[in-house]
Structure 1
């Protein structure tokens, strides 16, 4: 009896896991299953010692296999990191990219400066 109960439990667990095993990587059906949407968000921790921490970003790229895929490069993005504390975030970059495992993110900075007591 115990063996039958164990087998039934195993069958139920297997059947419950099957819905997550489909081949459709695009459930909305709106795009190519060989691509996906990569969105990178930017946030920061609070820093009381500064008036502002300004970073001007020029490009964001992600690495897959042996190539870099550009996620953002259309224009410079100036961000005061202090505006991104306490859970505030911005979309740092977003692009449709080839599906796969991304292992690195490269961020190019055009300029950066810090303001402390009104002096940069």
Structure 2
């Protein structure tokens, strides 16, 4: 799990479970599918409260590493508990996540899992779009999460100066838009990027008075890291 953070001191989510929906091969019974609905919890989930704002600049968190049944996996569920909160200007406030608490956040996967093969996926949690302010000063979590296969995708990394100004880094083309914020040292990492040609924009904090910086063409190749030169705003 990684993150594109928003304008907050901390965004804390309480991860309790990861489930997958499996259509097992043949007539095989799914171990752990007590209801017969195809949903099973994966094993060895690293449950706990995670600060999404610490997961930027190439930092990620391993949520699970385990064996799963072979078959067609249509969806992933990220199940959250009730201990979710947001810190704004040093004040901690509840982060309401009603849908996640009931059944989990459903993410489309649609992948055939073959016996004996390894698969790796990254959950790219876009906090900038996912945290919604309510009219009474509260905060709701309406997650925008992108599931990216680590194989056959690329990574774009770089650094922005001045580093003490948080900047939103975004690459986009007609098919994809992927964003991340710079960390405290000005570094950024855009992960799970499908191969292709992109435009990159860097939007510094409005309070800085700096202008948006644009790179018209960034080429991304499968299983390769595109490292950009230091970008001076």
TM-score (norm 2): 0.31
Q: Distance in 2 between matches of 1:85 and 1:52?
A: 12
* Separation (CA, whole Å) in 1 of partners of 2:90 and 2:60: 25
Q: How does 1:36-75 map to 2 (within 5 A)?
A: 42-47=1-6, 49-65=7-23, 66-72=37-43
After superposition, where does 1:1-120 map in structure 2 within 5 Å?
Answer: 42-47=1-6, 49-65=7-23, 66-72=37-43, 76-110=47-81, 111-120=83-92
Contact 1:59 1:73 in 2 (8 A): no
Query: Aligned to 1:91, what secondary structure does the other structure show?
Result: coil
Which whole-Å CA distance do the structure 1 matches of 2:38 and 2:65 have between them?
A: 17
Per-residue deviation, 1:75: 6.4
SS in structure 1 at match of 2:53: helix
Structure having the higher Rg: 1
Alpha-carbon separation, structure 2, partners of 1:100 and 1:81: 31
Aligned pairs, how many? 78
Structure whose residues are more often helix by fraction: 1
CA distance in 2, matches of 1:90, 1:74: 11
Q: What secondary structure sits across from 1:58 in the alignment?
A: strand
Q: Shift of residue 67 of structure 1?
A: 1.0
Q: In the TM superposition, what is the alpha-carbon distance from 1:69 to its structure 2 partner?
A: 2.3
Deviations 1:98-119 (A, max 9, x none): 1122110111111210000011
Mapped contact 2:18–2:76 kept (Cα < 8 A): yes
